[in-house]
Amino acid sequence: MAVGTLTTVPVPAPRVIDRRVAGGAMLLAPLAAVPLAAAAGLVVAAGTALHLPALATAALALGAVALGSRGLHLDGLADTADGLGASYDRAKALDVMRRGDSGPTGVATLVFVLLVQAGALTGAIGAGHGIAAAVAGVLVGRCTLSMSCARGVPSARPEGLGATVAGSVPRTATIAIAAIAAALATLIPGLPWWRGVVAVALAYTTAAVLLIRCAKRLGGITGDVLGGCLEVSVAAALLALSW
């Protein structure tokens, strides 16, 4: 479920999708995203070796990740922004998010977050640790999914991906994933140990802010909210690693 939901890697469908399977998938999200992180790192390595402009290399790396995830999380970010910006009425906001089109708020938010991601990764490439930043950004963003699906986080709808995964991850497991992410981030090559910890902390904080906002406005999470939280956390992590 983790690989099939978060990447384009062809895998058999799960035999059963229940709360246990859904929670396990969210916990395994960073491992499922390893191919995406590897692709981003390889693109940065190739761009650096070919002496491509740092911004072009960063854009290509982020494009590879988006392609490898079907653009699912970017779509979720745009839909979440449209819903939050459309109306203070919960039902109307959820209806806007359900539509397939993107409004001006969603497009502007998408462009803004992608600019931050690309600009931050460009800075990391220029500073000489672009490969590590690209890999870390992808993986840290997926680590935050367990927080967004932690026990006590409700679903905004009775159906859909949000309803399947909402509240499916034990809080102790969520804390463990965050602690492991912070510990591994201290090993990012070319950077002092605390920079990785700051990247993880900033990613989790940014995702938590959006998560709390959506829970108050929408009544809980949807699949789109998960994608939005993931993308802003990637931007935050890359920003912390950008120099």
What is the tens place of the pLDDT at every residue in 95-133?
Answer: 999 887 889 999 999 999 999 999 999 999 999 999 999
State mean pLDDT over 198-208: 98
Question: Which of 25, 73, 46 has the alpha carbon at shortest distance from 229?
Answer: 73
pTM: 0.95
pLDDT at 87: 76
The CA distance from 105 to 117, in Å, is: 18
Per-residue pLDDT of 155-191, as tens digits, reads 999 888 888 999 999 999 999 999 999 999 999 998 9
Distances in whole angstroms, Cα of residue 232 to Cα of each of 17, 19, 141 = 27, 26, 8
In this structure, what DSSP letter does residue 70 have? T
18 pLDDT higher than 90: no
pLDDT class of 213 with cuts at 50, 70, 90: very high
| Mean predicted lDDT score pLDDT of the chain | 95
The CA distance from 200 to 183, in Å, is: 10
